Amino acid sequence: MLFTTTDFFGNSIILKTKTWELHILDEHPEMAGYEKMVQGVVEQPEQIRISTDYHSGLAFISSPGVGPRPEGIRVLVDYADTFYEKGASSGVVATAYPIDWIKYGHPKLGKTIYRRGGGK
């Protein structure tokens, strides 16, 4: 396990070493060395949006300037159920990648459920 942390809502979140090495770094090698930033984004995101890739997933989005690209990073967390806003779930980091407006200009994300300064 690479890390265990508590997300913005109070849920237990893990990032498995296997996911980091075999998925994230394989597909997004520029994320090497940014494990702590990934953890920080899960704990204190700039924005949280519903993921359309996972039935019970959320995208945690950093502010610009975080990570290897100026646009920031996204971290997708797959939860055990949909009780995440109550802090009554647990989840695993499914992926993390630098925001790239050309490659990921229109991500498959649903509505925003949290924006820093704007509340839940």
Domains held by the chain: number = 1
Please indicate, yes or no, if residue 64 is contained in any of the structural domains.
yes
**Collapsing DSSP states into helix, strand and coil, what is residue 64?**
coil
Q: What is the pLDDT of residue 42?
A: 98
Locate tokens 């995208």: which residue?
A: 59
Reading the block at residue 28, the tokens are 């997004």
Domain of residue 57 covers 3-115
Region 14-21: what's the mean pLDDT?
A: 98
The torsion defined by the Cα of 52, 7, 74 and 107, in degrees rounded to 10, comes to: 10
pLDDT digits over 18-73, tens only?
Answer: 999 999 999 999 999 999 999 999 999 999 999 988 789 999 999 999 999 999 99
Please indicate, yes or no, if residue 120 is contained in any of the structural domains.
no
Has residue 120 got a pLDDT over 70? no
Residues 6 or more apart whose Cβ sits within 8 Å of residue 66: 37, 40, 41, 72, 73
pLDDT digits over 77-112, tens only?
Answer: 999 999 999 999 999 999 999 998 887 666 678 999
Q: What is the pLDDT of residue 119?
A: 55
Please indicate, yes or no, if residue 14 is contained in any of the structural domains.
yes
Question: pTM of whole model > 0.75?
Answer: yes
